[in-house]
């Protein structure tokens, strides 16, 4: 099954979807990491003007949506990854559905709280 098989709608369980989103958020986070490291290497001038202008841009309200989506990816990837690790070790395997529901609710709650804090900090 290739990447296109990740999005096949029929005959898939909720656990399969959770694992698909685990993969996708991992890819997004990897791409972000590469972009972030590239971005940091461009800030090596001696005056600090480039750094100040880039920081002013990235903490603006226009970038808030990207930050909110990045936090969603990170929170979901972390919490769902912890759930997957528990299952791999055979811990709470018989409670797979409730644990997935708790993980999703927890990820949503943490994401909403983090989004609110970021919005508040940008002057919203």
For the residues of 80-106, what is the DSSP string, one character each?
HHHHHHHHHTTTTGGGHHHHHHHHHHH
The pLDDT assigned to 22 comes to: 94
CB within 8 Å of 47: residues ≥ 6 apart? none
The pLDDT assigned to 6 comes to: 64
Query: Could you give phi then psi for residue 43, rounded to 5 degrees?
Result: -100, 30
Q: For residues 43 and 102, what is the distance between their CA atoms, to the nearest angstrom? A: 41
- Residue 77: its H or E element: helix 64-88
The pLDDT assigned to 31 comes to: 95
Domains (ranges, CATH) in the chain? Answer: 14-121 (1.20.1300.10)
The pLDDT assigned to 7 comes to: 66
Q: For residues 23 and 76, what is the distance between their CA atoms, to the nearest angstrom? A: 11
**What's the Cα-to-Cα distance from 25 to each of 15, 87, 114, rounded to whole Å?**
15, 19, 17
Question: Which pTM was predicted?
Answer: 0.83
- Write out residues in the chain with pLDDT < 50, as ranges: none
The pLDDT assigned to 9 comes to: 65
């Amino acid at each position: 099954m290739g990447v296109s098989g990740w999005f096949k709608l029929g005959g898939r369980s909720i656990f399969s979807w959770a694992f698909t989103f685990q993969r996708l958020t991992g890819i997004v986070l990897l791409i972000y990491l590469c972009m972030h490291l590239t971005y940091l290497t461009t800030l090596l001038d001696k005056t600090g003007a480039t750094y100040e202008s880039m920081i002013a841009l990235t903490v603006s309200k226009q970038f808030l949506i990207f930050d909110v989506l990045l936090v969603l990816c990170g929170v979901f990837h972390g919490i769902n990854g912890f759930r997957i690790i528990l299952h791999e070790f055979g811990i709470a395997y018989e409670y797979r559905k409730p644990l997935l529901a708790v993980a999703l609710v927890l990820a949503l709650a943490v994401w909403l709280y983090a989004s609110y804090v970021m919005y508040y900090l940008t002057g919203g």
